[in-house]
Amino acid sequence: MGIDQVQLNFSPATLMMMNILIGFILFGVALDLKPSDFKRVLVTPKPALIGLSAQFLLLPAFTYLLVIIIQPLPSIALGMFLVAACPGGNLSNFLTYLGKGNAPLSITMSAISTALAIVMTPLNTMLWGSLYKPTRDLLRSFSISPVDLFVTIVILLGIPLAFGMYIHHRYPDWAKKANKWMKRFSIVFFILFVLGALAANVNYFLEYVGMVVIAVFLHNLTAICLGYFSSRAFGLPESDRRAISIEIGIQNSGLGLILIFNFFDGLGGMAIVAAWWSIWHIIAGLTLAGFWSKREPKPNIPVNGGLST
């Protein structure tokens, strides 16, 4: 049986636990958010707008080009489109801080991209998946209601985000203490989430993961480079480039996994792409942040009409 025909199996109880776990992780992220994080974009809009454009416009478009070039199997390609449509991951803020990037910009982008994902994730997934014929044919084999997809993302993202921000506003001292604990264990929760997703299907994962390793490597490299060089092209300082690069490279593939299980019946290629991305982006992100942590950001030197070098 090929990867396009494999469907990972999950009991309703397992799926419910995974939904709760991803909601818990996002709630922990939201404990560190406040309305001023969203207001920053009004005060200094350029860096956030460049980063969000790279996140939701450039990355899906370049994913489409990458898929055309490497021509992976349809379910793998559809998994790449879905991951590219997800918002930034919950580890990006920590990695940006470690890599001496602009941490407030990272937090702002995480907050806004998570909110925008309620609309942009289903929109980009269906749009780019429909433009590529092999994935368009695959999409037709599933009965996906855009309304149901939207409602699910509101539940998975919107409610934990709103509740976490409310707790931060109403009980700031408790939220501050809880957030420190959540930051320490968020990577553990995330790994447990991925392992739980694969526990009942480890044989499929081991059999087919080799088919997605190169695709995920190239996809993640594309995301990181898009973030860095698009922000460089618009003259942003080095610390902003690092923040945006990490933010685009660390996708919330856990959200992607949940959507795959809920709407695509755990389709093998999609699930293994999202699962391997969940592992790989931690490796790539820590490597990049570790490299940058030993190098102070260079000052911005305007040349050629204001663009930096």
pLDDT digits (tens, 9 = 90+) for 233-288: 999 999 999 999 999 999 888 788 888 887 887 787 888 898 888 888 888 998 99
Percent of the chain with pLDDT strictly greater than 70: 79
Question: Which sign does the torsion angle of CA 293, 295, 299, 300 carry?
Answer: negative
Average pLDDT over residues 285-300: 87
For the chain, the residue count is: 309
Considering only CA atoms, which of 59, 91, 138 is closest in space to residue 254?
Answer: 91
C-beta of residue 292 within 8 angstroms of C-beta of residue 103: no
Domain map (residue ranges) of the chain: 12-293
Query: pLDDT at position 307, please?
Result: 40
Q: What is the pLDDT of residues 31-45, one digit of tens each?
A: 776 776 667 667 788
Query: pLDDT at position 305, please?
Result: 39
Considering only CA atoms, which of 309, 296, 299, 298 is closest in space to residue 234?
Answer: 309
Percent helix / strand / coil, the chain, rounded to 5: 80, 5, 20
DSSP annotation of 57: I
Structure-token pair, residue 73: 């199997």
Instruction: Name the maximum alpha-carbon separation found in the chain.
Output: 59
Q: CATH code for 12-293?
A: 1.20.1530.20
Model confidence band, residue 309 (pLDDT cutoffs 50, 70, 90): very low
C-beta of residue 238 within 8 angstroms of C-beta of residue 300: yes
pTM: 0.79
Model confidence band, residue 103 (pLDDT cutoffs 50, 70, 90): confident
